[in-house]
Each structure stands twice: as C-alpha cells, then as structure tokens.
Amino acid sequence: MSFIIRRIMFYLVAFLVAATINFLLPRLMPGNPIDIMFANAGNTMPPEAKKALAETFGFVERPLIEEYFIYLKSVFSWDFGVSIKKYPLTVMDVLMQALPWTLFLAGTSVILAFCIGSLLGIYAAWKRGGGFDSIISPSALAVQSVPALVIGILTLYLFGLVLEVLPTSYAYDPSLDPGFSWAYISSVFYHSLMPIGTLAFVSIGGYLITMRNNMIGQLGEEHVVMGHAKGLTDKRVRYNYAARNALLPSMTAFALSLGSVMGGSLIIEIVFNYPGLGNILFQGIIARDYPLIQGQLIIMTLAMLTANLLIDFIYIFLDPRLRKA
C-alpha cells in the first residue's frame, strides 16, 4: 500500500510540473490570438473592437501569477474556456468531438503494432540466426528509421492517387449521416485503412526489435533451461517461460504509446486530414488558440502519467519478484 501511495504522490507532483510548463509554453510563443484575428480582419475591424475581443476571450491584462492561479483553477475544474478557433464551442466540446476518432485511429494502430511486433520478435529470437530472423530483423530496423511522414505520403500517393483504391482524406464519406448504419460504419472502416495501416507499419519495427532483444536475454536463463529439461513443448517454453518475462520491458513502451494516443498522431492526421486530436492541436497552434492548446496538452499529460502509473501496477502483477519486494 505504501508503494501505491508513493507512486500516486509522485505522479501528482509530475502533473503539477507539467501543467505549469503547459501554462508557460503558449505565452512564450510569438504573437497572440487577438493580434492574429485583428490582422486577418484587415481594414474591416475597427481598432476599438480589439479590446472587446480580448475581453470576450479573457485575454485581459493581469499579473502572470494571477493568470497562473486562474489557469490552475480551470485545470482542476476541467473548464478550459471557449475555443478561439472554433468559437463559440468550448474547448471540451471541441476535444470531445475529436477524441473518438483519435481513440479509434491511434488506439487500434498501437494495439495492432504491439501484438504483431511482439509475436514477430518472439519468433525471430527463437529462430535467431535463421532465415526468418536474418530477413525480418534488418527490415524492422530499416522501417523504424523512416519518418512516419514519408511512409504516410508514399501510402497516400500509391493507394490513394495511383491505384485509387482507398480514400485520401477525412474519416468517412461526407455525404453520409453519422449513425449506426452499415453504410456509415463501413465508410469509417474504409477511410481508416490507410492511416491505421501507416501508423501500425511504422511502429511494428520498434516492438519487434525490443521484444527480440529481450527474448534472447531470457533464453539462457535457468527457468527456460529447466523448462526444456522437464520435456515441455517448445511452444510452452517459448511463451510461458521466456516470452512472459521478456514482455516486461515491452510493456513500458506499450504503455507510453497508449498514453500518447490521447495526443493523436499529429503528422498522420494532417497527411490524411483525419479529424482527430492531433489535427485539432495543429489547428490550435496555427491560430494561437491558447485555451485549446492548453486543454489538449493537459489531456495528453494526464493520459501519459496515468499510463505510466498503470504500468507500475502491471509490473507488480507480472513479476512475482516485485510483489515480494
């Protein structure tokens, strides 16, 4: 119990530090949303309207420390105010509209990449030095080194423009009304094939290499040798004895990936014009939408810290040595 309390307190402090950085970062950026709106309006907006805009969106002159405490209150009350880019929608309304798309897109791709990469890594380690390992491991390293932007553009060009077999943008056919109909669900699935496939493809290599290296380290351990000595099948030794312990370090990367899901996949969502949190964050940065940026980053921070806390508990469940300690 003391371990759990210590970890929770640690992550609470980490959250406060991250929230403070989140408060400072937008204010260190050049320009502000009111100036940008005023400049975009050209000569159509009178100068006195600038002050009214500032008061409407809460950008009034006040000491920084006062702004900070107002900001902390908004964080703990979960009220981030009105979005400037999507006015009159509130920040939470904007983020909640984009959240399901990000959970579907990034969440599905992370789970697929983890499962496929881990299984391939386990088999590559078990057959290390063989033909399969000699091909799959260098290929994983090569794919891992290619930026997601490059893979996304190549995928878009090949399947969307050259072959014309997959849609090039958005999350579903705009002519359809959202609902639980087969036409709408199939359209969502059809439009997600390229972004999900791209995200999963660029992530598989990391999980594969990590799992392969962890697995090789486990194959020489005494409990694996004992499993062979007992006459157990290769499949049982491979998965029940070696892979279970080799999985622990990979779970950390998996938890971090799940935590980052809340931020969306900025590059891929922009390339495929997917209406997720990453795309919303990009639009907020361009418009200097401080409330939207802060709300998005707070959610990302909270998701990442929660994922790390959960992985601490999962470690205890998976490793009996940690439970005894």
Q: Could you count the other beta carbons within 10 Å of the beta carbon of residue 37? A: 20
Contact 194, 200 (CB under 8 A): no
CATH level 3 topology of 91-324: MetI-like fold (1.10.3720)
pTM of the model: 0.77
Q: Which two tokens stand for residue 266?
A: 């900025």
| Residue spans of beta strands (DSSP E) within 159-219 | none
Query: What phi and psi, each to the nearest 5 degrees, are found at residue 175?
Result: -75, -10
Using one digit for the tens of pLDDT, what is the confidence trace for 245-296? 777 777 777 777 766 666 557 788 888 888 888 888 888 888 777 788 888 8
CA 149 to CA 268: how far, in whole Å? Answer: 7
Burial class (CB in 10 A: 0-12, 13-18, 19+), 57: buried
Q: Which two tokens stand for residue 317?
A: 């469940």
Using one digit for the tens of pLDDT, what is the confidence trace for 96-154? 888 888 888 888 888 898 889 888 888 888 888 788 888 888 888 888 888 888 888 89
List, in order, residues 6 or more apart from 57 with CB less than 8 Å away.
Answer: 33, 34, 81, 82, 84, 87, 291
Contact 239, 174 (CB under 8 A): no
230 DSSP 8-state letter: T
CA 321 to CA 36: how far, in whole Å? Answer: 57
Distances (CA, A) of 260 to 133, 215, 298: 30, 26, 12
Q: Structural domain boundaries of the chain?
A: 91-324
| Distance, C-alpha 159 to centroid of its chain | 25
Q: Could you count the other beta carbons within 10 Å of the beta carbon of residue 51? A: 12
Using one digit for the tens of pLDDT, what is the confidence trace for 19-64? 888 888 777 766 666 666 666 666 566 766 666 666 666 666 777 7
